[in-house]
C-alpha cells in the first residue's frame, strides 16, 4: 500500500508518473502526422485559405504542434464524443489535461494532449445529446436549438454521415460566432463539432496554443488501415472485439471479416473500430495518462488487461497508461449559471455546458476551474489506476491489490 492520498487535486496531478516512450511509438506518431497532412482534405475544405489555416492551428495540425506531438515525452489522452455540447464534468477534461501538463518537472518532456474524438456516435447519443445545442444567443439568453430530428427512423444516423449545419445563420454569442466561423470549413457535422469544441476550449483557456492534437477515431482507423505495421494489429484487435462500417444509409453495420477491410487511405468507406479497438490503436502511440469518466473507471481495468494480452500475443512491448477518472464534478461551483439560464437547462434535465460557460466567462473559465486545484482531489477524481501490465496497478512503483484502494488520489 502507498502512503495516504494527497489532499489536493494539484498534488494528485503532480504525483502522476510518466512512462518511457518507445522509439517505435514515436515512429508511429511521425507516420500518423504525415497521414494527417496528406489527408486533411477529407476533414477540412480548402476554399478559404485563411479559415483553413485557423482550423489547422485549432486542431493542432500545424507543423509545430505535430512536431511536438511526435517528440513529446508525455501525452495526455482524452476522447470526447462529437457534439455541440459538453455537459458538466465533460467540459473540464481538456482543462484537466492542461493542468496535468503543467505539473512539476514536466516541462522538459514537452507534454501535449491527444484528443481522439469519437465521431461515429449517432443522433440518439443521450450522454452528449448531439441532436440539440444548448447555448447563449446574441442577447445573452440561454436557449436550446433543435439541430436534428429525434425520430426513431433517424436516431441511428452517425454524425459523420450528416452534412454541416449552417451555424452562422443563427444569432450567436460572440464566442460562438468565433467558434462557428472556425468550424465552417468542416466537411460534415461530426468534424464541425470537433472544430467547434476545439475553438471553445482555446477561448476558455482550457487548451494552450499548440497544446493539443486532434485525431478523430475515424481518422485514426483510416491511418491504421493504410499503415503496413499497424494494419495487422488493427485486424487482430477487430477480430477479437469487432469492427463496423458506416453504410450508405449513414448507420453502422458490422464487418463480418476484418481481414477484408479496404486499406486505401483515401477510400470513401469509413470503418470504425469498437471501443476496445480504438484504445488498442491509441495506446500504440504511447500516451502516459488517459482522462475518462466514471463509466471508463469501471471497464478500463479489464480492458487494459485484454489489451496487454493482445500486445503480448503480437510481440509488442508497450506500457499501458494511467487512468485519471473524473467521477464527480461540482458543476454549480466550477461553472455557475444565472437562475434564468438554470431554468432553461433544468427544463431539459441537463447541467451547464461548455458553450454557455465560455460565453459567460471567456478565458476566465480556466481560472474558475483552477479553484478546484487546492480542494480535496476526491471532489473531482475517483481512484487513479496506474497500470504496470495485465491487471496490475502501480503507484510510484508499489503494487496495489486494487486501484480503488487509492480513493481520490
As a whole number of angstroms, the distance between CA 267 and CA 224 comes to 13
In a domain, 4, yes or no: no
Mean pLDDT of the chain, nearest integer: 88
Q: Which residue has the cell 477491410?
A: 261
In a domain, 3, yes or no: no
Q: What angle do CA 263, 267, 273 make, to 5 degrees?
A: 60
pLDDT reading at 52 higher than 80:
yes
In a domain, 186, yes or no: yes
In a domain, 348, yes or no: yes
Count of C-beta atoms within a 10 Å radius of residue 279 = 27
pLDDT tens for 302-352 read 998 899 999 999 999 888 898 999 988 899 999 999 999 999 999 999 999
pLDDT at site 71: 97
Residue 205 pLDDT level (bands cut at 50, 70, 90): very high
pLDDT reading at 73 higher than 80:
yes
pLDDT tens for 9-39 read 999 898 888 888 999 999 999 999 999 999 9
The boundaries of the domain holding residue 259 are 9-405
As a whole number of angstroms, the distance between CA 385 and CA 371 comes to 24
| Contact assessment for residue 308 and residue 389, using Cβ atoms and an 8 Å cutoff | yes
In a domain, 2, yes or no: no
In a domain, 119, yes or no: yes
In a domain, 254, yes or no: yes
In a domain, 133, yes or no: yes
pLDDT at site 65: 97
pLDDT reading at 59 higher than 70:
yes
pTM score, two decimals?
Answer: 0.91
pLDDT tens for 253-292 read 998 888 777 654 444 568 889 999 999 999 999 999 999 9
Domains in the chain: how many in total?
Answer: 1
pLDDT reading at 402 higher than 90:
no
Amino acid at each position: 500500500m502507498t502512503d495516504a492520498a494527497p489532499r489536493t487535486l494539484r498534488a494528485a496531478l503532480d504525483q502522476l508518473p510518466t512512462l518511457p516512450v518507445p522509439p517505435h511509438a514515436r515512429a508511429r506518431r511521425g507516420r500518423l502526422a504525415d497521414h494527417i497532412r496528406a489527408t486533411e482534405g477529407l476533414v477540412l475544405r480548402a476554399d478559404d485559405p485563411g479559415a483553413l489555416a485557423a482550423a489547422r492551428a485549432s486542431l493542432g495540425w500545424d507543423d509545430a504542434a505535430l512536431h511536438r506531438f511526435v517528440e513529446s515525452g508525455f501525452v495526455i489522452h482524452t476522447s470526447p464524443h462529437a457534439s455541440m455540447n459538453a455537459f458538466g464534468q465533460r467540459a473540464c477534461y481538456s482543462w484537466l489535461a492542461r493542468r496535468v501538463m503543467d505539473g512539476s518537472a514536466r516541462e522538459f518532456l514537452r507534454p501535449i494532449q491527444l484528443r481522439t474524438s469519437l465521431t461515429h456516435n449517432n443522433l440518439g447519443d443521450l450522454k452528449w445529446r448531439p441532436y440539440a445545442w444548448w447555448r447563449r444567443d446574441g442577447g445573452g439568453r440561454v436557449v436550446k436549438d433543435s439541430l436534428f430530428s429525434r425520430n426513431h427512423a433517424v436516431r441511428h444516423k452517425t454524425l459523420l454521415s450528416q452534412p454541416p449545419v449552417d451555424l452562422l445563420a443563427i444569432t450567436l454569442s460572440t464566442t460562438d460566432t468565433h467558434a462557428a466561423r472556425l468550424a465552417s470549413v468542416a466537411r460534415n457535422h461530426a468534424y464541425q463539432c470537433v472544430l467547434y469544441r476545439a475553438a471553445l476550449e482555446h477561448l476558455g483557456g482550457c487548451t494552450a496554443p499548440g497544446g493539443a492534437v486532434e485525431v478523430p477515431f475515424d481518422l485514426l482507423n483510416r491511418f491504421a488501415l493504410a499503415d503496413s505495421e499497424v494494419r495487422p494489429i488493427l485486424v487482430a484487435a477487430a477480430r477479437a472485439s469487432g469492427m463496423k462500417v458506416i453504410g450508405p444509409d449513414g448507420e453502422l453495420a458490422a464487418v463480418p471479416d476484418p481481414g477484408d477491410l479496404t486499406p486505401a487511405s483515401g477510400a470513401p468507406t469509413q470503418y470504425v473500430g469498437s471501443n476496445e479497438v480504438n484504445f488498442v490503436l491509441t495506446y500504440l502511440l504511447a500516451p502516459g495518462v488517459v482522462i475518462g469518466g466514471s463509466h471508463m473507471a469501471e471497464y478500463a481495468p479489464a480492458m487494459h488487461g485484454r489489451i496487454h494480452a493482445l500486445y503480448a500475443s503480437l510481440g509488442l512491448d508497450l506500457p499501458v497508461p494511467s487512468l485519471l477518472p473524473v467521477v464527480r464534478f461540482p458543476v454549480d461551483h466550477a461553472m455557475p449559471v444565472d437562475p434564468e439560464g438554470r431554468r432553461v437547462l433544468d427544463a431539459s434535465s441537463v447541467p451547464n455546458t461548455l458553450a454557455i460557460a465560455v460565453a459567460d466567462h471567456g478565458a476566465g473559465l480556466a481560472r474558475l476551474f483552477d479553484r478546484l486545484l487546492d480542494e480535496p482531489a476526491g471532489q473531482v477524481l475517483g481512484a487513479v489506476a496506474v497500470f504496470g501490465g495485465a491487471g496490475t496497478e502501480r503507484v510510484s512503483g508499489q503494487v496495489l491489490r486494487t486501484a480503488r484502494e487509492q480513493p481520490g488520489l
